[in-house]
Structure 1
């Protein structure tokens, strides 16, 4: 009996040691690969796949390979044809379906392989266009579309992604953490980094601390969730940037406040038709929360629609009236207001809502005042929509709702009635979304973990405001400590059987 117990302890100890050795071997392998690349090639390529709620976008960047913890100097690669249009699509599109979300792919390796092969082919063509004969680093970050799924299903999706990526020899995919789901707060923080990096409020070589008061606030209304992030003394996150620059940021996400989610919620309301453009009896088909198509006849009514959207935001003690009075219900909103921000940059659905209004009214520009924008939306939604327009593009039927939601969310949710917002898709060649900021964070983390641990006191980190201590910057030392405690834990458990 004693001999069997001793054997059990020995087996458990060996398993613990094996896990420890494997982790160290992985670290050594990754460090060797990255050091060799830093010494043998001048240019590094990075691919980030943004797995959103409606599609997976492809982002390709290049930068100078280096061994410091400075903010990377990234150049977005978006080749154009002779007419100035993108030469290659920036989303994964399988077959005739223009929107292929990762969550819609069958949960098997073959389906996932076919799905990502589309992206791999696009990246291969882009590399040939730029005459790059080097392997990119590959990252995948999933957002609210995956985030809202049960944890078990999330893991199935991520494990399939990792399995497909590991079998590729045209990319560097060195760690499982390179494919993961980011939180809503991280999405907001990364968008904040992206925007302020593109606007050069945060620079590649930052020899002195930048002026936090000159940074822009950001708003992103996606398909499932909406994010806001801005500098605030009443904050919930800290970002530690290189050059010992500590930034205090408020970042918030509202799950269910994206366009697709609002549509599903609105269909449960008796006033749902009031948020669809006037159709004079024609109907359009939209999908409800059960993914079933339902027919809706557009019968636009500004007051009824706004009040229905206020109810979704749980603003029940304030309502709009039919007297054309200017109302702002934001004082009853539970969201943090953005009223004191000097510059507000919005993207995604805010940009497309502005674009649709401006195209119809023959207006130009990136910036608009919310008070005027709301009146322009009223004009847009009151213009009768023709049945042939719906048949040609069913998305046009939901444009009015998208605009109404953007207007109500920004005015009554965030308190921006008298503010100006700049809505853009690109700036200085960069796509304005959270992916650029996420890649900046990942590249810096990668370099600090494997290349220049002695310099990484200046690494980029994100911490909760409640934790005033800066994280241990030596990732390898941390892993040693964790593994040591794990080994000790195994021994304690083993002793319980003795």
Structure 2
């Protein structure tokens, strides 16, 4: 099977530095691309009637105009297909039920999506794997309710876990995977070759990037970049056009990909331990009794993440609190991100916690999202941190906004006036790696 994220490119390095990415998702997405439009490819024939020749010419010209020429039997009826993808994230488990239509010889076109989630995430049940499986079973029942019974046996399903399970001890994560695998084997759906797995961070980044550019109809054109801030990790993916980026990036950040028959180089990296929840831990330091200037001055409470328990007391209130917190956050995480200069000239879609914190502070519409300048996160962080009042339901807001500001401004080096597209959905579909992963699942079922 061909490699989706292939050997690294660097003109100055020898073959000994080349790397092949061989995880399950490392296959070329050689699929016809479409978002509702249909493209036709004419095939030359030696002998045709004038009418058929004219019709073939029309199809051929239309195919060249569209730049997408999949093979399709125009006399066949469209087929309806479904795919089920479970996202076992660090803060919640989600199910995506996708409905596609396709013609023989063509690849699926997305028609609809059902999305539901349950909190906490699967990794929270490290000590009670049976209880974790019950949360997945609830989501599996939602899939049953939304897929016709006659389609169950031919509908592929898979669960991919992200940073939450990556950060657990192997024995605990494997116990969770095994019990979910048993659940899938007993389900009426079609289990994939490896139905339950911990997804490689590189694949997570590529799948999210594929989803966004598919929904924007940009594959094969000028694609946009993506930054996905989860609870345990953060992924950045874009297709670089500047040679300096390709030559200076760490050798395992650049991958050759073939997406919908379009070859390109992709810069992708997953920062494990730099998701928002994990970044909080790095700012707080060693678990146990801690004091943090990033917490409200009168705060006294506990917080648990990835098996670590913190008993936290806040300190300092009022003017100057943001500066003190920002300094603390930069010291903890500010130097841990690669920052090619080309990032400043790329268009980025930011989602997950970038969306959540922006929406909670009124920077974007809570459903539609919007455009947020990098500096607006910093401005909002200063307003929240320096206020004498704080939201008792969101005591970490000052710290979270300072972390996001540090990621964007000091980590990636983005200027304050750079605008980010902060979206939860695109054209009504969830902005998630799950759709990109489902394309792979549908292509290999």
TM-score, length basis structure 1: 0.64
Matched, 1:52 2:65: no
- After superposition, the Cα gap between the structure-2 partners of 1:160 and 1:40, relative to the gap in structure 1 and judged at 3 Å, is farther
Q: Structure 2: where are the runs of 5+ without partners?
A: 1-75, 247-252
Q: Which residue of 1 aligns with 2:444?
A: 445
Shift of 1:365: 6.0
Please state if 1:299 is matched with 2:303. Answer: no
SS at match of 1:74: strand
The residue that corresponds to 1:149 in the other structure is 168
- After TM superposition, give the deviation of residue 107 of structure 1 in Å: 6.5
**How do 1:40-439 residues align onto structure 2 when only pairs under 5 Å count?**
42-68=79-105, 70=107, 72-78=108-114, 90-92=116-118, 99-105=119-125, 110-111=130-131, 113-127=133-147, 133-135=150-152, 136-169=155-188, 171-175=189-193, 177-202=194-219, 210-211=220-221, 214-232=222-240, 233=243, 234=246, 236-243=254-261, 245-268=262-285, 273-276=292-295, 278-279=296-297, 281-287=298-304, 290-297=307-314, 299=316, 301-313=321-333, 315=335, 334-337=338-341, 339-358=343-362, 366-386=370-390, 389-390=391-392, 393=393, 396-417=394-415, 418-439=417-438
Q: Which structure 1 segments of 5+ residues have no match?
A: 1-38, 79-88, 93-98, 203-209, 316-331, 447-498
Q: Secondary structure at the match of 1:91?
A: strand
For these two proteins, the number of residue pairs brought into alignment is 351
CA contact (8 A) 1:107 1:156 kept: no
Superposition TM-score, scaled by structure 2 size: 0.71
Which whole-Å deviations, capped at 9, do the CAs of 1:415-461 have from their partners, x for residues lacking one?
Answer: 11241111111111111121111111222233xxxxxxxxxxxxxxx
Q: Deviations over 1:267-326 (max 9, x none)?
A: 1289962223x45x24343236653241332536222222222222263xxxxxxxxxxx
> Which structure dedicates a bigger proportion of its chain to strand?
2
- The change in CA–CA distance for 1:242 and 1:305 in structure 2 (over 3 A counts) is same
RMSD: 3.0
As a proportion of its length, which structure holds more helix?
A: 1
What is the rounded CA distance, in whole Å, between the counterparts of 1:60 and 1:159 in structure 2? 22
Structure 1 residues 286 and 156, CA, compared in 2 at 3 Å: closer, same or farther? Answer: closer
